[in-house]
Structure 1
Amino acid sequence: MEKSFHLVSLGCAKNLVDSEVMLGVLQQDGWTFVADPADATVLLVNTCGFIQPAVEEAIDEILGMVSLKEEDPQKKLVVTGCLTQRYKNDLETEIPEVDLFLGTEEPEKIAFHLNALFTGEKIPKVILHNRSLMSSRSPRQLTTVGMAWLKITEGCNNHCAYCKIPSIRGRLRSRTSEDIAVEAMHLEEQGVRELNIIAQDTTAYGNDLVGENIVGLMEKLLARTTLPWLRLLYLYPSGVSDALLDLLAGEKRIVPYLDVPFQHVSDNVLKRMNRHHTADDIEHLISRLHTRIPDIAIRTTFLVGFPGETEADFLQLEDFVQRHRLDHVGVFPYCNEEGIPAEHFADQVPEEERIRRQQHLLAVQSRISEENQRRYIGRVEPVLVSGFSKETDLLLEGRTRFQAPEVDGRVYINDGSATPGEIVQVRIEESHDYDLVGGILSTGE
């Protein structure tokens, strides 16, 4: 048997880490990744099942692979990840063409499962093992340039009324800080310059362990590596402590950027969402951030159209956005997902109204972002180069410390040359709604 595979990774950065582990495990076991699925003996789809649009994207991708398998019945189709975990009782019947369904805890065991599939060993068609954690010992093949995601926990204990993560990924499980530090060192050895620290709730790190917390973890990462950029993502508002802000204010290697999803600013909506903070808490947090770290870039997300959100609640949210003029804002319409606590809440907002509120708030933020971006014109900023632009291979592109990968804008470099993964000094000459343009002055941190 030719041990070749094609892997499609869907969903969030945490899912991508799982895919990179599967890539590493399979290649270590003698499997060869092929870019064209038509050439692969195994078609592997790592799915997201968080919200309905992600479910639909995953099903479409799987059905596309089913078509390839129909042309070549010798191929095996394996589906992993959140979709399996969420719909474990239905998928085997709904998509019988899939040879094997694996849950979210199987990345490190993927070679074992594929080998068993091809040797004809009798195994269940749906495999969901007990909750486990990845390890620094896991082989991992990076798919990014110059940066990497560092997943520090699995699961979540917050139980927000709109979210299925606890039922899909389980309760909070933190890796030890030592294991995380060892992985960070491995990633630095591979040329990584920026580590993006991720979890479902980063500030909850260590709550399930003795003597571990996010501040201690960051101090250990600073001590054990020389990585120039460390970035904190997905912080729960009430978990941003003064000790964490002290560390951010005093450590230049932790970039001046925080991603803190507020989700809303109406106490009425926040209570119904089962969020553990109030509008006053959010106002106080923003004041603390700007006082302690004046140049900080703040990213947040809002969920509009949640059941019971009135027009007055939405206008309160718009007023908040207008007043605080945050650097990066994502706005998502509420999805009434099967199995979430809010599924049967009263006062469901019609879908067209949810979309209207999303589009309106995004338009407001677009104007704010365009004005915010102008402050960078004339500044010289370190930029992590990711490679040639997706728009044209005549331009390089990268990101400043104030731009996170995937979700924020980028810097288009119109003068000078650099190697992907290199940090260069760029003078910013133009600004747009979300992107910047400039030329390279020199290399350096």
Structure 2
Amino acid sequence: MKTMHLVSLGCPKNLVDSEVMLGLLEKEGFSVVEDPARAELLLVNTCGFIRPAVEEAVDEILELARYRKEDPEKRLVVTGCLVQRYGEELERELPEVDLFVGTDGFQRIGELVSGLFKGQRERGMQLQSPPKYLMDARVERRLSTPAFRAWLKITEGCDNRCTYCMIPSIRGGLRSRSIEDLVEEAVRLEAGGVRELTLIAQDLTAYGNDLSGGQNLEALLGELLARTTIPWLRLLYLYPSTISRSLLELMADAPRIVPYLDVPFQHVSDRILRAMNRHHSREDLETLIDNIRTIVPECAIRTTLLVGFPGETEEDVEQMVECLTRWQLDHVGVFQYQDEEGSAAYLLPDKVEDEVKEERYNRVMSVQAEISARRQLQYVGRTEPVLLEGVSRESDLLLEGRTRFQAPDIDGCVYITDGMAEPGSIVSVRITEAHTYDLVGIIVDGDQR
């Protein structure tokens, strides 16, 4: 059996592609090893969305290339968004790499890699532009997450054309999987022990826009509720202006859809939102937050904000701070705008200096940290269902889990100081302490399923 070492960079959507490659390569006789020195195949699935991600990917490739140089029998393969974005430039600059595969082609990774080891394929590039591949339930996939939780990628690509975003050029236009196909995968994941299924896409609310027959997010959720018994269904990455009242009402009526919404606002200034080509205004955001809190009162709201967009002024940032102070959102991620060649925003005037972006980032993060600390206090004294992840990463004397209001690998967690349960159990935990992003509690009851 041949050995492989895989590094997956970037978002959960990219991780699903990595899991597909893992499954396909295992079918070809590869087994995973943690030590790259022991691996015959070195594989990096890259992100190329913004400059820091590009730099991280290149650093990782060069690190694995050291092992390739020490042992010429090894093969180094690079896949994903970085390849799709930079293509032939990478091939020129990284002669250490045996094979490059873009965002369309990884579904053939088994045969491509086998060809490399059999000497049937020379160093090369597998690149299709625009990418058209869309995974389905039949594809081999090996989960890299714990067996009790998984990501379900319901679409590929995006049609929104935000001016700062490279995703449509890297991933192509919107392509939705059918409801039947997604339910088939969800049923199989449940049979494998999944108890939390997180639906992901570049824009979850765009699901089905390219399909006929009334296939949309609400219909998909209805089928998942009817045909699985997975206790927690979670929604990530919903576009603000297309969150329907019917979706919120479905969440209110179906407790298995956890009360949590990740809705990237990106900004609150109408002027900046127009420059970003976002299809919502500050007033729309006000209405959305009011609707969420009226229809799904418990719902935790997460958003992301971008500071330092070209033309952003101090007044625009003050609007952001004022809105955050008034809205009191549960989770906020703040990012500094990156000037990406090829994006529409790259051509805009009035760039914001790096030190100004850094100051604005720190200011907004500081404001939100205080808000988060206050929001966390509402849970102290409450008993909440918690999905147990296992022994804590902080200390083997603690267990660790998450409430319905904390998404995996994104938000904080619950540290459990007393009680025992198996990973994957959903247990009742009384919250005893709150910190800025994490909670502390004790188990008061066993598995609730």
User: Structure 1-normalised TM-score?
Assistant: 0.98
Distance in 2 (CA, whole Å) between partners of 1:172 and 1:314 is 32
Question: CA shift at 1:123, angstroms?
Answer: 5.5
Question: CA shift at 1:177, angstroms?
Answer: 0.7
Question: C-alpha deviations, 1:358-414, integer Å up to 9, x for none?
Answer: 111000000111111011001000101111111111111010000011111100011
1:300-315 equivalences in 2 (<5 Å): 300-315=303-318
Q: Does 1:389 align with 2:392?
A: yes
Q: Does 1:175 align with 2:177?
A: yes
Percent identity of paired positions between Structure 1 and Structure 2:
59
Deviates more, 1:405-414 or 1:129-138: 129-138
Question: C-alpha deviations, 1:183-242, integer Å up to 9, x for none?
Answer: 001111111100110000000000011021111111111111000100111000011011
Question: C-alpha deviations, 1:229-258, integer Å up to 9, x for none?
Answer: 001110000110111111111101000010
Q: What amino acid sits opposite 1:10 in the alignment?
A: L
SS in 2 for 1:326: coil
Corresponding position of 1:32: 31
Q: What amino acid sits opposite 2:319 in the alignment?
A: Q
Would you say how many aligned residue pairs link Structure 1 and Structure 2? 444
Question: CA shift at 1:89, angstroms?
Answer: 2.2
Distance in 2 (CA, whole Å) between partners of 1:101 and 1:311 is 43
Distance in 2 (CA, whole Å) between partners of 1:327 and 1:228 is 23
SS in 2 for 1:53: helix
Question: CA shift at 1:28, angstroms?
Answer: 1.9
Q: What amino acid sits opposite 1:134 in the alignment?
A: M
Question: CA shift at 1:124, angstroms?
Answer: 6.5
Corresponding position of 2:347: 344
User: Structure 2-normalised TM-score?
Assistant: 0.97
Corresponding position of 2:75: 76
SS in 1 for 2:437: coil
Question: CA shift at 1:317, angstroms?
Answer: 0.6
Question: C-alpha deviations, 1:260-290, integer Å up to 9, x for none?
Answer: 0000111000000000011110000000000
Q: What amino acid sits opposite 1:51 in the alignment?
A: I
SS in 1 for 2:66: helix
Q: Please point out which of 276, 286, 290 is paired with 1:287.
A: 290
Question: C-alpha deviations, 1:160-189, integer Å up to 9, x for none?
Answer: 011000000000000001100000011111
Q: Does 1:248 align with 2:254?
A: no
Q: What amino acid sits opposite 2:177 in the alignment?
A: R
Corresponding position of 1:195: 197
Question: CA shift at 1:29, angstroms?
Answer: 2.1
Corresponding position of 2:84: 85
Corresponding position of 2:110: 111
Question: CA shift at 1:106, angstroms?
Answer: 2.8
Corresponding position of 1:259: 262
Q: Does 1:332 align with 2:335?
A: yes
Q: What amino acid sits opposite 2:133 in the alignment?
A: S
SS in 2 for 1:5: strand
Question: C-alpha deviations, 1:100-145, integer Å up to 9, x for none?
Answer: 0001123321111101111122456010245111111112111112
Q: What amino acid sits opposite 1:194 in the alignment?
A: E
Distance in 1 (CA, whole Å) between partners of 2:194 and 2:398 is 22
Distance in 2 (CA, whole Å) between partners of 1:77 and 1:122 is 13
Distance in 1 (CA, whole Å) between partners of 2:30 and 2:291 is 51
SS in 2 for 1:399: strand
1:133-172 equivalences in 2 (<5 Å): 133-145=134-146, 146-172=148-174
Q: Does 1:358 align with 2:386?
A: no
The answer as to whether partners of 2:98 and 2:123 remain within 8 angstroms in 1 is no
The answer as to whether partners of 2:28 and 2:114 remain within 8 angstroms in 1 is no
The answer as to whether partners of 2:204 and 2:238 remain within 8 angstroms in 1 is yes
Q: What amino acid sits opposite 1:201 in the alignment?
A: D
SS in 2 for 1:89: helix
Distance in 2 (CA, whole Å) between partners of 1:273 and 1:121 is 47
Q: Does 1:217 align with 2:220?
A: yes
Distance in 2 (CA, whole Å) between partners of 1:261 and 1:273 is 13
Q: What amino acid sits opposite 1:183 in the alignment?
A: E
Question: C-alpha deviations, 1:139-164, integer Å up to 9, x for none?
Answer: 21111122111000000000001100
Q: What amino acid sits opposite 2:351 in the alignment?
A: Q
Q: What amino acid sits opposite 1:223 in the alignment?
A: A
Structure 1 vs Structure 2 CA RMSD: 1.0
Corresponding position of 1:63: 62
Corresponding position of 2:240: 237
Distance in 2 (CA, whole Å) between partners of 1:28 and 1:306 is 46
Question: CA shift at 1:98, angstroms?
Answer: 0.2
Distance in 1 (CA, whole Å) between partners of 2:282 and 2:165 is 20
Distance in 1 (CA, whole Å) between partners of 2:104 and 2:228 is 28
Q: Which runs of 5+ in 2 are unaligned?
A: none
Distance in 2 (CA, whole Å) between partners of 1:272 and 1:357 is 19
Distance in 1 (CA, whole Å) between partners of 2:163 and 2:434 is 38
SS in 2 for 1:166: helix
Q: Which runs of 5+ in 1 are unaligned?
A: none
Distance in 2 (CA, whole Å) between partners of 1:20 and 1:411 is 27
SS in 2 for 1:191: coil
